[in-house]
């Protein structure tokens, strides 16, 4: 693709990675992704904003054939999907200066062995004039790494936000259709930003001090109507959990499935929404997305030897790492003779600030008394959830005048 116009003399370049299906050997990409770089052409100087994944360097280089030479390379974030072509760019443009903050500078030296003579280190709020356009650097740590920053282009009202507000979503469109991008943006928030919710809110407050007309992230489409994604971020990072049970489970001989089926029905009968995930076919992004708003997590697992099924351990480790604001958690499942399934899973979720509810474990295939205990668990959850808001979906009606 040739450079595409975002604003006059502001171009979207970079690569759409239609076929990539896994990120960081961890995150499924059902809709592919993109690595967006931007080119800001000023009256006196030109700036390239971020690079692309190393696998797509040739694509970026071909696009730069269509543009004047950049004077500055702004690196917002050192993860290699954005910084990975820095060495090749420095080789191609011998006068190119890397503009980044002190933390990013140290990381670029560590991860990409960039020559420390090539840096111009900026502080929070520093500006850089391109002549008729001015870049202002805003530190936005933890969206995604501690060094992450954003750039405000005041003359055009553009916020270059890197991972912040991004989505793993491959599209040939420059600008986002909010209905299309919402789920991908939420997954993306869940996968990498959720552990830093408080910091996310601070960063939202910080950047919305500026009159943003366009948010230009480094993954997914550009937002020319950014109010909905700003409001969505406030909701995901700061909204109260909802009347939803997130129920990841695995079964071996169907006893745990029978219990999960019964609990699903009992919760539904009591007006509690259930989001179920078969861990044998898990899309970790869908589970993460559910954790953003679930009031309770119930893990369903059989006991394997003396502990939980390894797939249930994976779900517990994932939830623990993502630190959702879930209020309650428990375990249901079947065992054959003995074990420490509940203690092991609870230990794996020790960073969650949850109240652990009474687990329900059945010996072998569940009996009437086990179903009765599941009914009691459903009663408890419904009672605990009675003050939580109902499950809600995207509010895409918000517009700029509401923010």
* Residues near ligand FEO, by CB under 6 A: 77, 79, 81-82, 144, 163, 218-219
Residue 190 is classified by DSSP as I
| Minimum distance, C-beta of residue 13 to ligand FEO, in the bound complex (Å) | 16
- Residue 186 or 373 having the CB closest to ligand FEO: 186
| Minimum distance, C-beta of residue 271 to ligand FEO, in the bound complex (Å) | 39
Residue 24's Cβ-count burial label (10 Å; 0-12, 13-18, 19+) is exposed
| Minimum distance, C-beta of residue 360 to ligand FEO, in the bound complex (Å) | 39
- Residue 219 or 325 having the CB closest to ligand FEO: 219
CA distance 81 to 52: 5
- Residue 77 or 293 having the CB closest to ligand FEO: 77
- Residue 104 or 259 having the CB closest to ligand FEO: 104
| Minimum distance, C-beta of residue 198 to ligand FEO, in the bound complex (Å) | 19
Contacts of 228 (CB under 8 A, 6+ apart): 178, 182, 394, 395, 396, 398, 399
Backbone φ and ψ of 213, nearest 5°: -100, -30
Number of Cβ atoms within 10 Å of the Cβ of 120: 14
For residues 349 and 298, the answer to whether their CB atoms sit within 8 Å is no
Helix, strand or coil, per DSSP, at residue 10: strand
| Minimum distance, C-beta of residue 77 to ligand FEO, in the bound complex (Å) | 6
| Minimum distance, C-beta of residue 252 to ligand FEO, in the bound complex (Å) | 37
- Residue 77 or 262 having the CB closest to ligand FEO: 77
- Residue 31 or 81 having the CB closest to ligand FEO: 81
Question: 278 forms bridges with which residues in the sheet?
Answer: 249
Contacts of 187 (CB under 8 A, 6+ apart): 167, 168, 285, 286, 288, 289
| Minimum distance, C-beta of residue 355 to ligand FEO, in the bound complex (Å) | 33
| Minimum distance, C-beta of residue 26 to ligand FEO, in the bound complex (Å) | 12
Residue 151's Cβ-count burial label (10 Å; 0-12, 13-18, 19+) is buried
- Residue 56 or 219 having the CB closest to ligand FEO: 219
| Minimum distance, C-beta of residue 82 to ligand FEO, in the bound complex (Å) | 6
Number of Cβ atoms within 10 Å of the Cβ of 149: 25
For residues 345 and 361, the answer to whether their CB atoms sit within 8 Å is no
Give the long-range contacts of residues 111-115, CB within 8 A, separation 24 or more. Answer: 111/78, 111/80, 111/83, 112/78, 112/80, 112/83, 112/84, 112/86, 112/87, 113/87, 114/86, 114/87, 114/90, 115/90
For residues 4 and 36, the answer to whether their CB atoms sit within 8 Å is no
Structure tokens at 331: 């375990």
User: Helix axis angle, 341-348 relative to 310-322, nearest 10°?
Assistant: 30
Instruction: Identify the CA nearest to 76 among candidates 142, 2, 32.
Output: 142
| Minimum distance, C-beta of residue 200 to ligand FEO, in the bound complex (Å) | 14
- Residue 81 or 231 having the CB closest to ligand FEO: 81
């Amino acid at each position: 693709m040739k450079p595409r116009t975002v604003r006059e003399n502001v171009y979207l370049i970079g690569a759409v990675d239609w076929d990539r299906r896994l990120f960081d050997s961890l995150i499924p990409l059902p809709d592919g992704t993109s690595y967006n770089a931007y080119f800001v052409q000023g009256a006196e100087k030109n700036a390239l904003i971020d690079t692309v994944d190393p696998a797509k360097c040739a694509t970026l280089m071909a696009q730069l054939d269509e543009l004047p030479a950049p004077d500055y390379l702004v690196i917002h974030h050192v993860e290699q999907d954005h910084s990975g072509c820095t060495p090749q760019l420095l080789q191609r443009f011998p006068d190119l200066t890397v503009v980044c903050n002190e933390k990013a500078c140290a990381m670029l030296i560590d991860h990409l062995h960039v020559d420390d003579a090539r840096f111009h280190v900026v502080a929070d709020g520093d500006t850089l004039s391109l002549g008729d356009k001015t870049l202002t650097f805003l530190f936005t740590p933890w969206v995604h790494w501690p060094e992450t920053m954003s750039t405000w282009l005041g003359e055009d009202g553009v916020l270059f936000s890197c991972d912040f507000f991004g989505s793993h979503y491959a599209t040939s469109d420059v600008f986002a259709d909010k209905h299309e991008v919402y789920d991908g943006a939420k997954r993306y928030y869940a996968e990498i930003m959720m552990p830093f919710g408080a910091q996310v809110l601070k960063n939202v407050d910080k950047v919305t001090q500026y009159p943003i007309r366009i948010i230009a992230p480094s993954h997914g489409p550009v937002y020319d109507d950014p109010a909905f994604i700003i409001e969505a971020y406030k909701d995901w990072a700061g909204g109260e959990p909802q009347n939803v049970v997130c129920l990841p489970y695995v079964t071996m001989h169907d006893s745990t499935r029978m219990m999960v089926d019964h609990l699903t029905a009992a919760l539904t009968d009591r007006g509690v929404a259930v989001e179920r995930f078969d861990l044998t076919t898990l899309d970790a992004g869908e589970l993460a997305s559910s954790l953003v708003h679930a009031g309770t997590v119930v893990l369903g697992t059989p006991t394997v030897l003396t502990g939980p099924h390894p797939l249930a351990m994976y779900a517990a480790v994932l939830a623990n790492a993502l630190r959702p604001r879930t209020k309650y958690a428990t375990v249901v499942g079947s065992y054959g003779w003995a074990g420490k399934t509940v203690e092991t899973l609870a230990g794996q979720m020790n960073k969650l600030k949850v109240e652990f509810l009474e687990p329900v474990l059945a010996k072998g295939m569940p009996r009437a008394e086990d179903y009765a205990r599941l009914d009691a668990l459903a009663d408890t959850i419904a009672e605990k959830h009675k003050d939580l808001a109902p499950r809600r979906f995207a509010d895409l009606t918000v517009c700029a005048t509401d923010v």
